[in-house]
Structure 1
């Protein structure tokens, strides 16, 4: 084969590789767009269920609580039932807010994260500290992405980490938002552990929005989750 033929063959191979990469990039973009639509649909369904909990079950429990409180004035033995009804009502309201936090739309990401940490850690021995250093304007999709990553990570910490200290850091630099969630818990071997629903959900969300999610953990040395999002 002559040098001219070799060059022509090499050029054809490179052209094929370029076309293949373009097709792969196009398919990846389509998959990401599909994933975004699925997440948006999921958020819409959560909002709908949240309203149903608040307006349906919540209203019924409110009526039941008031009725039991009224009756307990005459029948003290009903006081325990009234307290149980109050606890159930509080749990339904909390679940409704967590499923679709209206504070995220009303006040923005920072107040929403502050509310989330207070709500999740109010009865936990683990202390949670927040640090915010950003002034960037965020789209609704980006705010929801960050909020859900924080929510999933903190729930995992409470359930599994056995941590005493947790820190949430949100900062911006130029056109990038960085989120760090750090705990001093028992950690895990990231290579050997089988990813649960929580970690998979975070990875899937990040990938759908072209964000970078890194998880660094060592046994007995805690865990750091870092999310980087271009804005």
Structure 2
């Protein structure tokens, strides 16, 4: 039985790794392909706008499209996670997802050393999903993110003071299922504590 569980967990980890590799490839394609095309298009529209041949609204639309593609590329596979590590990537993620909203944020990260790549990606993806859910659906005034070592494990907590929900009766969408399945694949303890009107607390404890 234990051997079967280990085999299934190993298979799940390989599937997640393949998914991350595909994300990285698509991110690079967006950056090098569509991103460069939009950059060239935006420059031509800028020149036409300066010459008075094109309305400035068209330039604004093209500029926003370029910004959206760049952000999508970074969120699919943020290079900062590979270049500067988990702490920098999480701070960037919080800033990126919350900067255009009135939401206040608090980020506290206490890591003596960088976790391995698989653990870093796992924690980043769960934080990304939890933050996205909070921003889109929770209507919070404050979101807090905490990361620290707890014994031989790494702990992530994402806490918001938003509207909350009844986790026991809420239909499990792709986001919630993805967080739970990712955690299970890496033998991590995953928990969501929430109630209507009481905010939401997502936590994961990853053995390292």
> Normalising to structure 1: TM-score of the pair?
0.88
Matched, 1:78 2:55: yes
Matched, 1:222 2:204: no
RMSD: 1.0
Q: Tell me the residue number matched to 1:110.
A: 87
Deviation at 1:173, TM superposition (A): 2.5
Aligned length: 208
Deviation at 1:74, TM superposition (A): 1.2
Deviation at 1:133, TM superposition (A): 1.7
In structure 2, list runs of 5 or more residues that go unmatched. none
Q: Tell me the residue number matched to 2:100.
A: 123
Larger helix fraction of residues: 1
Deviation at 1:42, TM superposition (A): 0.5
Deviation at 1:54, TM superposition (A): 0.6
Deviation at 1:191, TM superposition (A): 1.2
Q: Tell me the residue number matched to 1:145.
A: 122
- C-alpha separation between the residues in 2 aligned to 1:48 and 1:133? 31
- C-alpha separation between the residues in 2 aligned to 1:88 and 1:153? 25
2:165 aligned to which of 185, 188, 212 = 188
Preserved CA contact (<8 Å) 1:150 1:181: yes
Deviation at 1:134, TM superposition (A): 2.1
Q: Tell me the residue number matched to 1:10.
A: none
> Normalising to structure 2: TM-score of the pair?
0.97
Q: Tell me the residue number matched to 2:10.
A: 33
- C-alpha separation between the residues in 1 aligned to 2:144 and 2:179? 18
Q: Tell me the residue number matched to 1:94.
A: 71
Q: Which has the larger radius of gyration?
A: 1
- C-alpha separation between the residues in 1 aligned to 2:56 and 2:164? 44
Preserved CA contact (<8 Å) 1:68 1:78: no
What do the CA deviations read for 1:38-73 (whole angstroms, capped 9, x no partner)?
101100111111111111100110000000111111
SS in 1 for 2:146: strand
